[in-house]
Amino acid sequence: MLRHPIKSAVLSAVLMLHSIAWAAHPLITDDTGTQGQGKFQIEVSGQYDSNKETVGGVSTESTGSQVATTLSYGFTENMDIVLGIPYQWGKGKEDGMTVYDEKGIADMTVDLKWRFFEKDGLSLAFKPGVRIPTGNDEKGLGAGRTGYQAFLIGSLDAAPWTFHTNVGYIGNENKTDKEKSIWHASLAATCEIVKDLRLVGNIGIERNRDKAASQNPAFLLGGLIYSVSENFDIDVGAKYGLNAAEIDWSLMAGMAFRF
């Protein structure tokens, strides 16, 4: 396990990839939609992060990438089982010298999404889940312990606009001396600007996983989702850190196929 304080700061930036909600990419905020009984969705998404800061007078630069595969299965009409498998790359430098360079499978997640209310365009869902420690915590690719999370999700359909909100709690059990009790709040909106093309926006904040941090990371995200067909979407997006605690910027792209 890495103990160096500068290396720890580099790792915090490298590993701040949002991999809990598994929302409709590129959004981080999830929606209440489910696949329908017996139906599947496979989503493959990629993300590249870049962050620069000065810690204790030392200039640090970190980059991180993630390719994630998410499989959703409609257990019933209003309940999905969601499996997330991420693969990550991370590199960190101090004053131009590489101090961290690792890649591998990160921690997997298994979630259950249950839409329990739906009326007049408003719907509510509950999404509990577990994080399985499949990543190597000694290499900074995982937490080293089983974690858990629970989210309350709300969606409002007001065509051509749709709004989504998430509030949640993450039990961040770990061996890496990070904060174990994490809260999350975020809001997203989508608008169909032309047929099959949606403009999406997202804003959110989450408790910092660094115990010594004085700020909580907040982000602003924008992107596009294009429906190539009824069952195939592609997307692009960019995320910007609203404060120093968040990653400076991220680029995202993905695709989703339903069958």
Q: Model-level pTM?
A: 0.91
Predicted confidence at residue 15, as pLDDT, reads 52
Residue 240 is part of a domain; what is its CATH number? 2.40.160.40
Rounded to whole angstroms, how far apart are CA atoms 105 and 36? 30
pLDDT digits (tens, 9 = 90+) for 31-86: 999 999 999 999 999 999 999 988 778 888 999 999 999 999 999 999 999 999 99
* pLDDT at 1 > cutoff 90: no
CA 100 to chain centre: 22
Rounded to whole angstroms, how far apart are CA atoms 89 and 108? 15
* pLDDT at 22 > cutoff 70: no
Residue with tokens 């959703």: 72
Specify the number of domains making up the chain. 1
Predicted confidence at residue 176, as pLDDT, reads 87
Predicted confidence at residue 3, as pLDDT, reads 44
Give the mean pLDDT of the chain.
Answer: 91
Residue 105 backbone phi and psi in degrees, to 5: -65, 135
Residue span of the structural domain in which 114 resides: 5-258
Q: Is 32 exposed, middle or buried (0-12, 13-18, 19+ CB in 10 A)?
A: buried
Q: Which of 18-27, 32-41, 132-141, 226-235 has the lowest mean pLDDT?
A: 18-27
**What region does 5 belong to: left with phi over 0, alpha with psi -120 to 50, or beta?**
alpha
pLDDT digits (tens, 9 = 90+) for 188-213: 999 999 999 999 999 999 999 999 88
